[in-house]
Amino acid sequence: MSEGPGTTPTTTTTPAATAAKRSGTRNLVEWVVVIVCALLVAFVVKTFLFQAFYIPSPSMTPTLQIDDRVLVNKLSYDIHGVERGDLVVFRSPQPAAPEKDLIKRVVGLPGDTLEGRDGHVMVNGEPLEESYLPDGVQTGTFGPVEIAPDHYWVMGDNRSNSSDSRVFGAVAESQIIGKAFVKVWPIGSFRLL
């Protein structure tokens, strides 16, 4: 039967075409779900578990160099307390500081009395053993300072070029984001901290 003028041609959809269309739609939906799930996992990991931070200044040399990248464990201090010698990332206590997040080493714990004397950090009257510092590094004079509850005295390993607790005082525990535990950049310099 021929089609007359003004009639619309009929199209027939084969089962194979219908299946292909469904398959394409299903693939698209699957990809969208995979991408959304991946973004959600990345958000959860960054918010609650681990986050990468870069080193903006020479205050931690030689341990960390400018532009190094470290991973920070955000759950670490939910499991155990902050320990002397830990490298911590924390929110800067100076609102006008160019960097919002800083990384320093914990030197003093709540209740400690700290003092910079004779080139060394003295904790409760005794020199602090700082094996992480290169030979010859001298700490300037400061204190004595008694560390308040839930506060920590932090210092850069590059004692002559670090704005740290000697400048802004002890850091509140609530400002600590987490513990830096591994250096991941530059490539080839991966190591535990």
Known catalytic residues? 59, 104
| Rounded Cα–Cα distance for residues 20 and 33 (Å) | 20
- 37's enclosing H/E stretch is helix 15-44
Q: Beta strand pairing status for 69-73 and 120-123?
A: unpaired
Angle at 71 between CA 48 and CA 170, to 5 degrees: 80
Q: What is the DSSP letter of 49?
A: I
| Nearest to 105, CA basis, from 75, 137, 78 | 137
